[in-house]
Structure 1
Amino acid sequence: MALAAETPADRVDQLIILTERLTELVADQALAFEQHRPQDAARFVEETSKLANVYRHESARIRANPSLLVGAPVLERARLTRATEAFDAVLARQSRALEAAKFITEGLVRAIAEEVANQRHHGAPSAYGPTGERTAKPTDGAAITLNKRA
């Protein structure tokens, strides 16, 4: 999908709208992660993905052919530059929020795994037979898998 711009001015205007909407969506996602509510970020994923693909495609087209913007009003091009800078800042914010969420999640998984391991090795109840004699160690049947790359 590409922009349907007929003139450089039209292309710049559409890019500004696209960039500002992406900035808004990514800021909302970052806020959801900052508030420890990643489930709230999920509602933005589809639209963000579609718009990000258009943005990526248009950015590549302009890098390959800068003349697509030649003739657009200087003030509008400056506005696009400011919108792009704001978008970059929000992307950095989202990256920090995602890194923090990943750090917290990894810590929780590690803590749970350690607790399960402790329970298995130290806190496992003893098993006794019908006459009160100790029987073979019971197994709890629990399993846990850790993926250190997650």
Structure 2
Amino acid sequence: MAAPASADATERVEQLILLTERLTHLVAQGAQAFEARRPQDAAGYMAETGRLANLYRHESARIRGNPDLIAGVSLALRTHLVRATEAFDAVLARQARAVGAAKTVTEGLVRSIAEEVATQRQKGASYGAGGLQSATPAATAITLNKRA
């Protein structure tokens, strides 16, 4: 005999809660790594985070497309799912802030280094044919095209 639909719905919601809580934990670890200025620490569990995020996206879309999949689930279990989802959303916002801050710092460093390199190149001087000092030409970007 097949299990009643409400039992399947209950199991589906319980599994989604576990998935959401695990994903929340992994994203929180990533946010902590970025906040501690150690993004390399987050690299160790990026594969699992990506896999679980894809599974979460897929399951959420299935339920959104067919709400009957979780029909008959107790109010307590639905509330638990809502709380887990709210916690996940909060951790995602925290991670977005941490990654955004790291991006801003990195871009600032790259810009500073590029400006310093440009300043150093402009300081150089060479002497022309008449013995006069001439400025070193400014650095320019080069694009290579294999078809040219």
Q: Which residue of 1 aligns with 2:90?
A: 89
Q: Which structure: greater helix fraction?
A: 2
Cα 1:25–1:143 change in 2 (3 A) is farther
Instruction: Read off the aligned partner of 2:42 and give its amino acid letter.
Output: A
Structure 1 stretches of at least 4 aligned residues deviating more than 3 Å after TM superposition: 133-139, 142-145
The 1-side partners of 2:136 and 2:64 are apart by: 66
Cα displacement string for residues 101-127 of structure 1 (whole angstroms, at most 9, x for unaligned residues): 0000000000000000000001x2668
Counterpart mapping for 1:1-150 below 5 A: 7-122=8-123, 124=124
* TM-score using structure 2 length: 0.81
Q: Which structure: greater strand fraction?
A: 2
SS in 2 for 1:7: helix
2:125–2:134 Cα contact (<8 Å) kept: no
Cα displacement string for residues 121-149 of structure 1 (whole angstroms, at most 9, x for unaligned residues): 01x2668xxxxx8898889xx9878xxxx
For structure 1, the residue ranges without an aligned partner over 5 or more in a row are 1-5, 128-132, 146-150
1:34–1:97 Cα contact (<8 Å) kept: yes
2:122–2:136 Cα contact (<8 Å) kept: no
Aligned length: 133
